Amino acid sequence: MEPKFRIASITDEFSPTDLDKALDRMVAIGMTGAELRMVFGKNIMDLTDEELKLAKEKLDARGMTVMSIASPLLKCELPGAPDIDPRFQQDMFASKNTFADQPRLAERAFFIAKFFGAKIIRVFSYWRSVEPEKCFDGVVTALTWLCEKAAAEGLIIGLENEHACNIATAKESAAVFAVMKQSNLMLVWDPANAMCSGESPFPEGYSLLPVDRIVHVHTKDCHMEGHKPIWGPLGTRDVDWKGQIAALKKDGYTGWLSLETHWPGPGGDKFEASTICGWNLRGLASL
């Protein structure tokens, strides 16, 4: 069956070093879109202009659309915030940047997005503190600044709900969008991240969201053991992906479903894990 949604993947879920290998398998699955996070073993923000050109040549040769730059913007500590919550793993993806680095990162992200023709720059909400509500104003201030900068470039700021950051759940995401009406601030909805934060992502969490502000969807699956997510093949764990995808279709979502595997795979083979999850995504997107 042909997918009813366009399907994509963060390329490093197949291989963080071998872009050709990743793209060839993505094409074989039927994916037509790519998100860029780690390429050639480096965070996308750290690639040289020549490396960016080489990556674009490989993507263009396969007709791949780059819809999102998976940047690490606002994946840092907010100065003056309460202590960081130690329960959540902070995934860095070869990026180690501080609050002071954010203006430089933003400018680089805008350049890279325009270079690849991507419309979405994925951002976060600072590392999650033990009192995330006390970080809310700081998050809004940062997002406002990013939206103003991005608007001048015709770009969308895609806020991802991330369990290791202050905006982790659908409820917390909805609170941001209730006060921020900027048309270029949109949500990268990740149901599994909401589950990692103790929320039931579908239907409960999803019902809280302004669905017209969802610009992109990340797909991965897990069950929880305490505060620890146990990742597995997409569509086989505790996220109701059939229900979630059906609701997105009913609500008129027209964006991508993008794979973010996380599961280490059989025998620790991440490439095989992403292959399995990629085919599962195609099946789910075809229902």
Q: What tens digit of pLDDT does each residue of 186-231 get?
A: 999 999 999 999 999 999 999 999 999 999 999 999 999 988 999 9
Asked if residue 63 belongs to a domain, the reply is: yes
pLDDT for res 92: 64
For the segment 27-53, what is each residue's pLDDT rounded down to a tens digit? 999 999 999 999 999 999 999 999 999
Asked if residue 206 belongs to a domain, the reply is: yes
Tell me the C-alpha distance between 195 and 225, whole Å: 11
Asked if residue 178 belongs to a domain, the reply is: yes
pLDDT for res 88: 77
pLDDT for res 1: 75
Number of domains in the chain: 1
Asked if residue 1 belongs to a domain, the reply is: no
Asked if residue 13 belongs to a domain, the reply is: yes
Domain containing 173 — which CATH number?
A: 3.20.20.150
Domain that holds residue 30: 6-285
Average the pLDDT over each of 92-101, 153-162, 167-176 and give the range with the smallest value.
Answer: 92-101
The CA distances from residue 22 to 11, 103, 254, in Å, are 6, 31, 25
Which positions ≥6 away from 269 have C-beta within 8 Å? none
Asked if residue 87 belongs to a domain, the reply is: yes
pTM: 0.97
